């Protein structure tokens, strides 16, 4: 079972990642934000491409769902951390982190 502290530790281990406040959440970013962690540490919003979002939601429907607004149509996806194991969390973070690298285009 993944936790907010596990997300924080894994995210900050990814090259170039810094943590910054983002409204009532913690944002993890390189050039731009790739994941935000809810204040209660129970959920996180990951920035995937729409295709990646569809895949994650299909493979782990109990853990991932699109954010319910225009952000969700752009690939932002909510993950319920208690439904993820460490490997699933790491995979999601690395997938989102790739899109935040300098030189990558927004999807």
Per-residue confidence (pLDDT) for residue 82, from 0 to 100: 98
Q: Give the residue numbers spanning the domain of 93.
A: 4-98
In a domain, 103, yes or no: no
Per-residue confidence (pLDDT) for residue 106, from 0 to 100: 59
Mean pLDDT in order along the chain per 10 residues (107 residues):
97 97 95 96 97 98 96 96 98 96 72
Contacts of 94 (CB under 8 A, 6+ apart): 14
The answer to whether the CB of 62 falls within 8 A of the CB of 89 is no
Per-residue confidence (pLDDT) for residue 105, from 0 to 100: 65
**Strand (E) or helix (H) holding 73:** helix 70-73
CATH (domain of 23): 3.90.1150.30
What is the distance, to the nearest Å, from the Cα of residue 2 to the centroid of all Cα atoms in its chain?
13
In a domain, 106, yes or no: no
**Rounded to whole angstroms, how far apart are CA atoms 81 and 4?**
7
Quick one: DSSP state of residue 69?
S
Whole-model pTM: value is: 0.93
């Amino acid at each position: 079972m993944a936790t907010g502290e596990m997300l924080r530790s894994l995210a900050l281990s990814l090259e170039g990642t810094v943590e910054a406040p983002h409204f009532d959440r913690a944002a993890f970013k390189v050039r731009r934000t790739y994941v935000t962690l809810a204040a209660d540490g129970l959920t996180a919003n990951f920035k995937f491409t729409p295709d990646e979002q569809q895949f994650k939601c299909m493979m782990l429907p109990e853990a991932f769902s699109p954010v319910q607004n225009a952000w969700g149509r752009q690939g932002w996806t909510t993950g319920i951390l208690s439904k993820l194991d460490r490997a699933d969390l790491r995979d999601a973070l690395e997938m989102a982190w790739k899109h935040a690298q300098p030189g990558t285009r927004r999807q």
